[in-house]
Chain A
Amino acid sequence: DTAVSQTPKYLVTQMGNDKSIKCEQNLGHDTMYWYKQDSKKFLKIMFSYNNKELIINETVPNRFSPKSPDKAHLNLHINSLELGDSAVYFCASSQDSWGGEQYFGPGTRLTVT
């Protein structure tokens, strides 16, 4: 059974478009995250939700808007895509927001042309 799944796996789109990436976890975890990994493999937290409540919001352009319809799902919507948004976006989840293992999804490779 897939623990943390993301769709789509690959996304190629043009500058200026709006796109969404979806994430689902079936682990019963309370906390979910979005991370961005750039072309040099640097990995940085973007957002985190705990039980549908936003608890981490790093310095990210407001073109990025996360949404958590329930604690098993965390989606990422990106408006007016730019070349610099090209990266691999990873979703992760953990039992709670206080520590412990984070389980990562397989990633969504976004390419903006």
Chain B
Amino acid sequence: GEDVEQSLFLSVREGDSSVINCTYTDSSSTYLYWYKQEPGAGLQLLTYIFSNMDMKQDQRLTVLLNKKDKHLSLRIADTQTGDSAIYFCATPGGGATNKLIFGTGTLLAVQP
């Protein structure tokens, strides 16, 4: 089945850029998503990218997709303490349903 991997932890200083990486195995994914989970809360969709795009920018967020290497990244510019959270990438699980396969999650810690 689909496998989605992320590094577990990233620590940055406030104002720096953060880059969170994700690798996946299913090359038929049509959309790839980034979700954010703040402590004690549910998941919130941050952004997504269609598989026919290489890059998508949305304010401080930049998503890069390398389909050949099956690698997805999320760059957060000017990282703030409020960005501290767990970030999950997710891909559709295939088939005729909207099943999402989530990555292992990356805990982003922003130091003031």
Residues of A with Cβ closer than 8 Å to B?
4, 31, 41-45, 48, 50, 55-56, 90, 92, 94, 96-107
Contacts and interface: CB of A to CB of B under 8 A. Distances in A.
B86 A41 contact: yes
Contacts of A45: 93, 99-101
B92 A99 contact: yes
B19 to A, nearest CB: 20
Chain B facing A: main interface SS:
strand
B58 to A, nearest CB: 14
Nearest to B105: A41
22 contacts: A41-B37, A41-B86, A43-B43, A44-B102, A45-B93, A45-B99, A45-B101, A48-B98, A56-B99, A90-B43, A94-B98, A96-B98, A97-B97, A98-B96, A99-B30, A99-B31, A99-B92, A101-B33, A104-B44, A105-B42, A107-B41, A107-B42
B24 interface: no
Contact of B102 (A43, A50, A96, A107): A43
Contacts of A50: 97
A67 B100 CA distance: 20
Nearest to A105: B42
B48 to A, nearest CB: 7
B8 to A, nearest CB: 9
